[in-house]
Amino acid sequence: MIDGVSHPQIEAVLGDIVDQHVDAVVNAANSGLMGGGGVDGAILRAGGDAQLAARRALRDRIGSLPAGEAAHSDAGDMKCRWVIHVVGPVYSRSEDRSPLLQSCYREALRVADELGAKSVAFPAVSAGIYGWPMASAADIAVATVRATPTDVEVIRFVLFSQDAHQEFARALSSGTE
């Protein structure tokens, strides 16, 4: 606790997000919520039929999920209890979409707080098929979670490649928690 404010433990690990023992895993979803490649496909496969049913129910309830917003579903067969879905922006050289990427992290933490989650695992949102440069994605992610008030106690960035892990470790070491 610093200045009477509780700060979460923030860490970066090399691994597979579907194997994390946390309350909630954040999914880098597409706006249709029904699976795709990368993190989204891995989470859908790991969650099995129960995750598919939970996503269908979420989609039927809210329709599509706009970029920068978050919604949750049950995790199905995963080790976590919830999946918090966010839709990151596609990277653009001609338009600053960083506020949408920041919103993904803030909104995911807002949903985690509503659920009562104390530990959350994040992927590198938008840094895969959506083309966001990894160094920038790491800087935005780390700065945003550090600046977002939350009751979450552990925030874990789970990175699939050594390069991504190095960028997030660099971003974590470049500031104060």
Write the pLDDT tens digit of every residue in 11-62: 999 999 999 999 999 999 999 998 778 899 999 999 999 999 999 999 999 9
Q: What is the pTM of this model?
A: 0.94
Question: What is the distance between the alpha carbons of residues 151 and 154, in angstroms, rounded to a whole number?
Answer: 9
Catalytically annotated residues: 40
Q: Where are the domains of the chain?
A: 9-173
pLDDT band at 6 (very low <50, low <70, confident <90, very high): low
Distances (CA, A) of 106 to 46, 61, 84, 86: 25, 22, 12, 10
SS3 49: helix
| Residue 19 region by backbone torsions, left for phi larger than 0, else alpha for psi between -120 and 50, else beta | alpha
Distances (CA, A) of 134 to 19, 51, 64: 22, 29, 26
Question: What is the distance between the alpha carbons of residues 75 and 136, in angstroms, rounded to a whole number?
Answer: 29
List the one residue out of 124, 145, 28, 16 whose CA is nearest residue 84. Answer: 28
Write the pLDDT tens digit of every residue in 72-127: 999 999 999 999 999 999 999 999 999 999 999 999 999 999 999 999 999 999 99
Question: What is the distance between the alpha carbons of residues 16 and 28, in angstroms, rounded to a whole number?
Answer: 13
Average pLDDT over the chain, rounded to an integer:
93
Question: What is the largest distance, in Å, between two alpha-carbon atoms of the chain?
Answer: 46
Residues with Cβ within 8 Å of residue 63, at least 6 apart in sequence: none
- DSSP per-residue string spanning 114-127: HHT-SEEEE--TTS
Contact predicate 164/125, CB 8 Å: no
Domain 9-173 architecture: 3-Layer(aba) Sandwich (3.40)
